[in-house]
Amino acid sequence: MNLIVAIFLPILAAFFIPLLYKRVKSLHTGWFVLLVPLSLFLFYTTFVKQVANGETFTSTFHWVESLQLSFISYIDGLSLLFSLLITGIGSLVVLYSIFYLDKSKEQLHNFYVYLLLFMSAMLGVVQSDHVITLYLFWELTSISSFLLIAYWFNRDASRFGALKSMMITVFGGLLMLGGFVLLSMMGDTYSIRELIAQAPQLAEHEYFTWALILVLFGAFTKSAQGPFYIWLPDAMEAPTPVSAYLHSATMVKAGIYLVARFTPIFASSELWIWLVTATGLFTLVWCSFFALKQTDLKGILAFSTVSQLGLIMALLGAGSMSYHVDGAAETVFKYAAFAAIFHLINHATFKGSLFMIVGIVDHETGTRDIKKLGGLMSIMPISFTVAMIGSLSMAGVPLFNGFLSKEMFLTAMLSITEFGLFSFDTFGVLFPIIAWIASVFTFAYSLYFVTHTFMGTYKPDALPKKAHEAPIGMLISPIVLAALVIVIFFIPNIVATYFIKPAVLAIQPFLYSDVSQIDVHISAWHGFTTELWMTLGIFVVGGLAVMTLKKWQHFYNRVPAGFNMLYDAAINVSDTGMNRLSRLYMTGSNQTYLLYMFASFVVLVIGTLFTQGGFTMSWAHTAPIRFYDLVLIAVLVSGTLIALVTKSRLTSIIGLGVVGYSVAMFFVIFNAPDLALTQLVIETISVALFLLCFYHLPKNSRKENRMRFQVPRFIISVAVGATVTLVAIAAQSQKMMTSISEYYKETVYSLAGGGNIVNVILVDYRGFDTLFEIAVLAIAGLGIFAMIKLRIGDKGKEKKQLENK
Amino acid sequence: MKTNDVILQFTAKLVFFIIFLFSVHIFMAGHYTPGGGFVGGLLAASAIVLLILAFDLKTVQAGFPINYRIMTAIGLVLALGTAAFPMFDGKPFFTHYFDYFDLPFFGKTSLHTAMLFDAGVFLVVVGVTMTIIQSIGEDE
């Protein structure tokens, strides 16, 4: 199967989902959807072996060749790992959603169409080698995420969360596009691989820093890093399968992917290392701290996700340091990128299972409020076991995969102090300390999450539903993920060989030329090292923090909302400010708008004509004035005057008709039968239309006196007339190029197979124009239809309301 | 007030066919002599408008039970389809095909895909004009 087809397979499948949903009522639509990620997952697993040997695969589809736009699917270690995550977790999530979403109550076709749309978009993001198509897929993930968060769109919080996530991620995405454009200008190519190949030259370029910052904006907004984390907690209004899939396992990792993918280009920069590492660490500690404040189970997981993404981000930043150390492959920095990828896999497994458990708790008890929950251990034993495995892995406890990557994280952070460049030797000591504090909070919220839900006293009265264990179908997916959590702990080096090392090769292509050179070996026991003592310290302090949580949790109430307040203020200001600004000139009166249009028309055209020296007057090309012309002009002018001075509407319509018909007659005497014909028919129809419209105007205004004479309007109307006349004279006076009509005359039969130039222009030479014109015409027609019908509907409603009273 | 429009109504019925046939003629002839889909569509619409003026909206609607919005849509699809079709043949968007064919009854005739496109224009123009006039006319 072609790689490009594989990317688009979910979107293609999405076309059939609404049909299946409508036709097959007996079977949950999710079963059909499940086939898509499952088959893609199996398809991508066939690449694992070859990619593990360092092979790569590409497939290209030229989209718009003249713009060098093409879909290039590039499979290397990094993109294959992400593709497997997207389709693997995707399969589990779809399976889970079959039991989570009721087929009779929910709008399943919407849900699955959005989900499949997202799947294609995400595969496109991680496989695109072309920056512009990467950006397209990137925004498509934002849009599908928006649609999925707002899936229950009748809830205010859903719409708010959806809009917030869209605002922030699209804001970052647009900046990122700017970065991509700069990069492609610097490297004169759109291909990421070609950009990486010329990384040293790019680093010298004056735009380099700008491109770096702009690309990081995209990554940070998408992965909810730094101040941009605020959209993720609000995105938790989405159905839980979506949170598990988009907002924990895949989409939020697009930023991680981006940083990893562009590391070879930007890693030479000091700014990059500082920004990525510091932002990651800040997010890690900040959000792990605030996770303990949350009382909504999904809120805890949202903050935890953001903080774990920060951890991966910090590791990628530290991994970039290896570019600045001689013989880097031998130093400890090689751990960082490796640990980042390892933790990415681990996070997907344990966080995915935890989200699904929260969904189960919510589904079976009716609440996610941790204050109402407790003592579910004996009622939901399987869920409890899975939650325990996930939480302990997140906390970094041995026997679970999180422990291994957490240890590597500590190793990497400790090694930063040894990095002698960019003033890391002075500030570097802060990094392991911050990492340790964050890990304490991570340990604390992991325990907080699981103990307050499943242990303690059972409060059946507080729960909206009678709690019971979930159906087995719902438990399969979390159990699979929890099993992986344990399995990975015991076979980390097999995972490393097949998935991590090929991905590391993609992130650090300058260090290693082959997968076999990456000699990192994961082991659970390193002896009594600093890391071990740090871990023990985390367990002790973190445990204490959870036990005393009740005593100090109220402290959170004193912390201001911070970044959220900024966002709300910004949205508020732009909302009301823009409203006020537009109210200044949008009066709602058509006459005012016409004045704006005509006045600016006069200023722009006259201004351009005279400042550019375009005005000349010559009578060399004009035809002589004949007797007929004079008669027609007299008729035309008198028609205009009648329309202006008459008091009766009917007379003014006829006056206008006279103007139109005399113009048509001009076309006749100037040998333009097509135009004359069209003008005549249009005039006839518009007179009929005017009659119809005026018939429906309110009766009392039918004898309305004509409008007062207004000097400004008079001046503008005279100016418009003068402008048009001047432009016509100027256009007629200078023939700078030979007329195109000669070309038409020569080719109308040979190229277009026609005889009537006017019509051949319409349907062939300039068919594009006609196509858009009829589209505009259709839109205008539908607009008029909608406006009139809508008004009738409103009236009907008012009548009904009156009758009810 | 009820006016007696016998003469108008009788004439309108006759003239309608003349105008309509003329519009078809002008549409068909458009590629070689003055005319085309746009004028043809407008003429056809004006023929219907004449009927509406002579009779009233309801009578005409009963005579032509056409949903003009769907007609507009069909026209748009026809125009876009004609323009997009060459892409499946590996040719650029909006490539037209034309040749002479020996048809029974008509004899040697020039056939041109531009006519299909023009038919789309024709339908859109009639559809939109009638949609506007109908919705304004219906508004009580």
Nearest CA to CA, how far is B135 from chain A (Å)?
A: 6
The candidate with the shortest Cα–Cα distance to A503, out of A306, A313, A339, is A339
Instruction: Name the residue in chain A with its Cα closest to that of B99.
Output: A753
Q: Report chain A's terminal Cα–Cα distance, integer Å.
A: 67
Indicate the residue of B31, B117, B135 with minimum beta-carbon distance to A756: B31
Looking at residue A183, its amino acid is: L
**Residue B34: which of A674, A692, A696 has the nearest Cβ?**
A674
Are the Cβ atoms of B128 and A777 closer than 8 angstroms?
A: yes
H-helix or E-strand containing A649?
helix A649-669
Chain A residue closest to B116 (CA)? Answer: A763
User: What are A527's two structure tokens?
Assistant: 């002896």
Domain ranges for chain A, please list them.
1-207, 267-578, 742-805
A321: left (phi over 0), alpha (psi -120 to 50) or beta: alpha
A54 and A78 in contact (C-beta within 8 Å)? Answer: no
Contact call for A763 and B127, based on CB within 8 A: no
Contact B124 A774 (CB under 8 A): yes
Contact A681 B42 (CB under 8 A): yes
- Greatest alpha-carbon pair distance for chain B in Å reads 64
Q: What is the DSSP letter of A128?
A: B
Question: What is residue A58's three-state secondary structure?
Answer: strand
Among the partner residues B42, B73, B132, nearest to A682 by beta-carbon distance: B42
**In this complex, which of A689, A755, A771 lies closest to B83 when CB atoms are compared?**
A771
Q: Any chain A CB within 8 A of the CB of B61?
A: no
The residue in chain A having the minimum alpha-carbon distance to the alpha carbon of residue B50 is A688
CB-CB: which of A760, A762, A771 is closest to B38?
A762
- Out of B39, B112, B132, the one facing A753 most closely (by C-beta) is B112
- Which residue ranges in chain A fall short of pLDDT 50? 700-703, 800-805
Residues from chain A contacting residue B46 (CB–CB below 8 Å): 681, 684-685, 688
The verdict on a CB contact (< 8 Å) between B49 and A781 is no
What is d(CA B19, CA B12) in angstroms, rounded to the nearest whole number? 10
- In angstroms, the separation between the Cα of residue B45 and the nearest Cα of chain A is 8
Q: Do residue B80 and residue A788 have CB atoms under 8 angstroms apart?
A: no
Which B residues 75-104 touch A at CB under 8 Å? Answer: 75-76, 79-80, 83, 94, 96, 98-99
Q: What is the distance in angstroms between the Cα of B77 and the nearest Cα belonging to chain A?
A: 10
Q: Mutation target for B interface from A670, A674, A675, A681: give the one with most B CBs within 10 A.
A: A681
* Residue of chain A minimizing CA distance to B39: A678
Chain B residues inside the 8 Å CB shell of A681: 39, 42-43, 46
| Contacting residues of B for A780, CB less than 8 Å apart | 128
Alpha carbon distance A368, A319 (integer Å): 38
B46 vs A: CB within 8 A: yes
Chain B residues within an 8 Å CB radius of A764: 94, 96, 114
Long-range contacts of A512-516 (CB under 8 A, 24+ apart): A512/A329, A514/A54, A515/A52, A515/A53, A515/A54, A515/A77
- Picking from A450, A288, A258, the residue whose alpha carbon sits closest to that of residue A361 is A450
For A48, other C-beta atoms within 10 Å of its C-beta total: 16
Q: Which of B121, B125, B134 would best serve as a mutation to test chain A binding (most A beta carbons within 10 A)? A: B121
- pLDDT for the residue A702: 45
Q: Nearest 5°: phi and psi at A270?
A: -65, -40
Considering CB atoms only, which of A756, A771, A784 is closest to B30?
A756
Best to test chain A binding among B16, B22, B27, B31 (most A CBs inside 10 Å): B31
**More reliable by pLDDT, B8 or A334:** B8
- Cα–Cα dist A578/A569, whole Å: 14
Mutate which: A695, A763, A765, A766, vs B, most B CBs within 10 A: A763
What is the number of other CB atoms lying within 10 angstroms of the CB of residue A372?
15
Q: What is the structure's pLDDT at A172?
A: 92
Q: In this complex, do A762 and B36 lie within 8 Å of one another by their Cβ atoms?
A: yes
- From CA A759, how far away is CA A767, in angstroms rounded? 10
What is the predicted ipTM? Answer: 0.90
Question: Which residues in A41-145 belong to E strands, given as ranges?
Answer: 57-64, 69-75
Name residue, tokens 């909608």. A786
Q: Where do we find the tokens 């087929």?
A: A103
Cβ B34–A682 below 8 Å, yes or no?
Answer: no
Residues in chain B within 8 Å Cβ distance of A693: 136
Taking CA–CA distances from B34, the nearest residue in chain A reads A674
Instruction: Inspect the interface and report whether the beta carbons of A754 and B125 lie closer than 8 Å.
Output: no
Q: What's the token pair of residue A121?
A: 């978009």
